[in-house]
Amino acid sequence: MPEQRPSKPTRKPRSSKPTRKQGPSKPDLRRNKRSSKPDLRRNKRSSKPDLRGISLDELKSFVLKLDQPAYRAGQIADWVFKRGVRSFDEMTNLSKDLRELLSRKSFLSCAKVVETHTSQVDGTQKLLLAYGRTRIEAVLLKDDERITGCVSTQVGCKFACSFCATGAMGFKRNLTAGEIVEQMIALREAAAPDRLGNVVFMGMGEPFDNYDNVMRAIRIANAEWGLGIGARRMTVSTAGHVPGIRKLAGEGLQIHLAVSLNAPVQGLRATLMPIADRYSLTQLLGAIEQYSERTGRRATLEYVLLKDFNDSPEMAAALAEIARRLLCKVNIICYNETADSVFEPPTDQIVESFLAEVRKRCSTVVRRVSRGSDIAAGCGQLCVPRDGT
């Protein structure tokens, strides 16, 4: 399909303004190609292991080093993951001496819930969590069928998508595996007595830019000894990080992959999402195709409708063509307002006719109703003020 521009490209998205270009430096995409992995069990600011971010096997080696029997690892994992305790003193089936030893030789990533906002419209809850001075947001979405936790993977984001509030924050740091797991524990507590059924990695940040920590958190979340969340109940969403998609295809995990496409043609996509300058649409579609071939799983294409930018019938046809060719599902999301944005959501009528146009060629398209937008907890609205990290 030839490159097409939206019908009325009268306004420039923020990312093309010089001020946005002064933002974070270009992401170091080589990092994900490195074979030597950082020591993910350790928090940078501490030489001790974070028990919230280590596997049962690692926990076993750790307790053996402390001259403890291996079965202690199972007991500790139970406290750390199943019960989600935030202090060693709560581990009451361990001796006081052992609890003291653990607190000297290790630590637990703990988040303080600084604020909770609840949507009056749909009951969505947004938690502002603090890890020391670092602040992030996580969201609990409820509908009739299930409760879903939306988790952040980074403090801020390097990728500066022009319509996203997290992108406007710039990048501060990666979250550790323990901090990601701790978010799920905080969300599980907020959901109680209901069960946290699903987890989506669609909060702040680009999961594949923090690949190893995110995969580690997913394996802990998925494990029987961990949080016990089924892999098919987890979704990782990427802005189009091609090496990450290729790597995920080899993990042997049953998690879902969502790709934020947002434009079906390279020119517009690169204008809206600077990551497309690094990884072209052709490369991205190639990676999705390879992912489906290797895993036998269908990816989901996410498409945020931005009035007059990507909501024309031609765009709908091009999107449907891609989805049909790659056997992808399509989620259409209406743009959520963010501060100082030049974008607007299209009218309901435009959204419906866009959907109808896609549906003519591809039946696996749904409109995803954004939840929590009245408390700025909707897709792309998560951001935190400066916090000194």
Backbone phi and psi for residue 124, each to the nearest 5 degrees, phi listed first: -55, 140
CB of 93 to ligand SAH, least distance (A): 39
- Tell me which stretch binds ligand SAH (CB under 6 A): 30-38, 110-118, 233-241, 321-329: 233-241
CB of 302 to ligand SAH, least distance (A): 4
Map residues 310-349 to x or -, x wherever contact with ligand SAH holds by CB under 6 A: -----------------------x-xx-x-----------
CB of 294 to ligand SAH, least distance (A): 20
Around Cβ 277, how many Cβ atoms within 10 Å? 12
Q: How far apart are CA 197 and CA 199, in angstroms?
A: 7
When binding is defined by CB under 6 A, the residue of 94, 136, 202, 249 that contacts ligand SAH is 202
The residue among 165 and 185 lying less far from ligand SAH, judged by its C-beta, is 165
CB of 388 to ligand SAH, least distance (A): 24
Tokens coding 180: 């990601």
164 is catalytic: no
| Terminal-residue alpha carbon distance, the chain | 45
What single string gives the DSSP state of each residue in 69-91?
Answer: -THHHHHHHIIIIIS--SSGGG-
The residue among 138 and 202 lying less far from ligand SAH, judged by its C-beta, is 202
Taking Cα atoms as reference points, which of 234, 210, 219 lies closest to residue 149?
A: 234
When binding is defined by CB under 6 A, the residue of 302, 319, 346, 354 that contacts ligand SAH is 302
Among 110, 164, 379, 383, the active-site one is 379
Q: How far apart are CA 25 and CA 19, in angstroms?
A: 13
Around Cβ 56, how many Cβ atoms within 10 Å? 16
Q: How does 167-187 read in b/e, with b if 16+ C-beta sit within 10 Å?
A: bbbbbbebbbbbbbbbbbbbb
379 is catalytic: yes
- Tell me which stretch binds ligand SAH (CB under 6 A): 87-95, 97-105, 211-219, 235-243: 235-243
The residue among 176 and 262 lying less far from ligand SAH, judged by its C-beta, is 262
The residue among 98 and 273 lying less far from ligand SAH, judged by its C-beta, is 273
Residues 369-388 that bind ligand SAH (CB under 6 A): 379-380
Largest CA distance in the chain: 70
Answer yes or no: are the C-beta atoms of 263 and 310 closer than 8 Å.
yes
Decide: is 154 part of the binding site for ligand SAH (CB under 6 A).
no
Coil/strand/helix, residue 121: coil
Decide: is 260 part of the binding site for ligand SAH (CB under 6 A).
yes
Map residues 51-90 to x or -, x wherever contact with ligand SAH holds by CB under 6 A: ----------------------------------------
Q: How far apart are CA 46 and CA 24, in angstroms?
A: 26
Residue ranges in 130-173 assigned as alpha helix (H): 165-169
Decide: is 291 part of the binding site for ligand SAH (CB under 6 A).
no
CB of 45 to ligand SAH, least distance (A): 25
Query: How many residues of this chain interact with ligand SAH, rule: CB under 6 A?
Result: 18
The residue among 222 and 237 lying less far from ligand SAH, judged by its C-beta, is 237
The residue among 63 and 202 lying less far from ligand SAH, judged by its C-beta, is 202
Mention every residue, 6+ apart, whose C-beta is less than 8 A from residue 299: 256, 257, 258, 259, 288, 291, 292, 326, 328, 329
CB of 82 to ligand SAH, least distance (A): 28
Q: Write out the H or E segment, with its range, that includes residue 101.
A: helix 96-105
Angle between helix axes 313-326 and 281-295 (nearest 10 degrees) is 40
Question: Which residue sits closest to ligand SAH, CB atoms considered?
Answer: 380
Around Cβ 9, how many Cβ atoms within 10 Å? 12
Decide: is 137 part of the binding site for ligand SAH (CB under 6 A).
no
Q: What is the DSSP letter of 236?
A: E
Footprint of ligand SAH (CB under 6 A): 161, 163-164, 202, 206, 237-239, 260, 262, 302, 304, 333, 335-336, 338, 379-380
Residues annotated as catalytic (active site), given as ranges: 137, 379
